[in-house]
Amino acid sequence: MPRFSNQKLKPLYLAWILQERTDENNVMTAQDIVRALAAYDIPADRKSIYDDIEALRQYGVDVELRRGKNGGYFVASRDFELPELKLLVDAVQSSRLITAKKSNALIKKISRLTSTEQAKTLNRQVYIRGRAKALNETVYYAIDSIHEAIHAGKKISFKYFSYSITKSRIYRRPDKEYIRTPIAMCWNDDNYYLVTFAPKFENPYATYRVDRMTAVEVLDEKADKFNKETFSITDYIKQNFGMFTGETMAAKLAFDESLVSVVLDQFGADTHMTGISNGRFIINANVSATPTFLGWMFQFGNKAEILEPENLRETMRDMLA
């Protein structure tokens, strides 16, 4: 490469070198920077380094100079601080949605957002009991296509599968693709779900696990219109996931005061607590008589009780028996 071209690239290389090699604990002197640039066939002298660093500061790169015996230049702040990057790495590693291979690739990209030395501290391992990684490598691209279709008001096509005992895919409709109008994505129990609409069916709304979807494509066909006034995605999610699957009913529940945080996590921070006495409180909530809900209540032993309605109490007695 001609010498003058390398000189034009000097500020870019300088910014990259400082971003990659420096932080508050790792600095570079002007002479260190001259040697680093020379490795890329970019000649420089100390005075030009001072001028270039000042230009970087005016551009917005937070380069500081630490004076003294072990002083030097370093990037003092970045878009992401180290604790934020650690949090992102932990989230990626602990997510069931992301495969192990994709997790490693993402973490490598996250590591580039800090210096080489600080990136070494991002080599963390988060262990979560019973947490298994997804097997579907294409889930990333499926999510992107779904969001694109929702934004553009288009239908999508996809194939849907489950796993056999040998971990091979068993497609629900091997010779035919699903064509649906995507409504919304929701997150439940560490899995992404897609809520769809298809007016030709008696029950037009359906839910699909995104990591069980493949060959997701955005179609040119416009999305089917559904009545947004009568369909509440929030209510749909409550009725179709976890302990609230099925017909809901108004219930009065009593809990020991030690379970306040657990109850708020489950029913929401706006849950109104009444009848606070003798270390207990009462809430009114819409629940359903499913084994999931009853099992959730059962785990608390005598610290949780169904007060009303009587038929729900009876269902709990039958399960206990």
CATH number at residue 201: 2.30.30
| 131 domain-assigned | no
Regarding whether 212 and 144 lie in a shared domain, the answer is yes
In this structure, what token pair is assigned to residue 298? 């059962």
pLDDT of residue 135: 64
CATH number, domain of 313, equals 3.30.70.240
| 233 domain-assigned | no
Regarding whether 218 and 146 lie in a shared domain, the answer is yes
Mean pLDDT of 35-59: 92
- How far is Cα 249 from Cα 290, in angstroms, rounded to an integer? 11
Regarding whether 65 and 99 lie in a shared domain, the answer is no
- How far is Cα 222 from Cα 6, in angstroms, rounded to an integer? 51
Regarding whether 68 and 89 lie in a shared domain, the answer is no
Total domains in the chain come to 4
| 132 domain-assigned | no
Regarding whether 223 and 145 lie in a shared domain, the answer is yes
Mean pLDDT of the chain: 86
| 134 domain-assigned | no
- Spell out where 116-212 has E strands: 154-163, 169-171, 178-188, 191-197, 205-209
Identify which of 149, 158, 141, 161 has the alpha carbon closest to the alpha carbon of residue 99. 141
Identify which of 188, 194, 196 has the alpha carbon closest to the alpha carbon of residue 209. 194
pLDDT of residue 1: 42
Amino acid type, 217? E
| φ, ψ dihedrals at 173, nearest 5° | -130, 85
Structure confidence at residue 76 as a pLDDT band (50, 70, 90): very high
Mean pLDDT of 9-30: 94
| 128 domain-assigned | no
Structure confidence at residue 169 as a pLDDT band (50, 70, 90): confident
Domain with 288, as residue range(s), is 241-320
Structural contact between residues 113 and 79, judged by C-beta atoms closer than 8 angstroms: yes
Regarding whether 181 and 118 lie in a shared domain, the answer is no
Q: pLDDT by residue (tens digit) across 226-277?
A: 887 778 887 777 667 666 666 678 899 999 988 998 888 788 778 888 888 8
Regarding whether 57 and 91 lie in a shared domain, the answer is no
Regarding whether 199 and 146 lie in a shared domain, the answer is yes
Pairing outcome for strands 191-197 and 178-188? antiparallel
Structural Rg of the chain based on CA atoms = 28
Regarding whether 222 and 143 lie in a shared domain, the answer is yes
CATH number, domain of 63, equals 1.10.10.10
C-alpha distance from residue 20 to each of 16, 34, 111, 171 (Å): 6, 15, 10, 46
In this structure, what token pair is assigned to residue 48? 């030009």
| 213 domain-assigned | yes
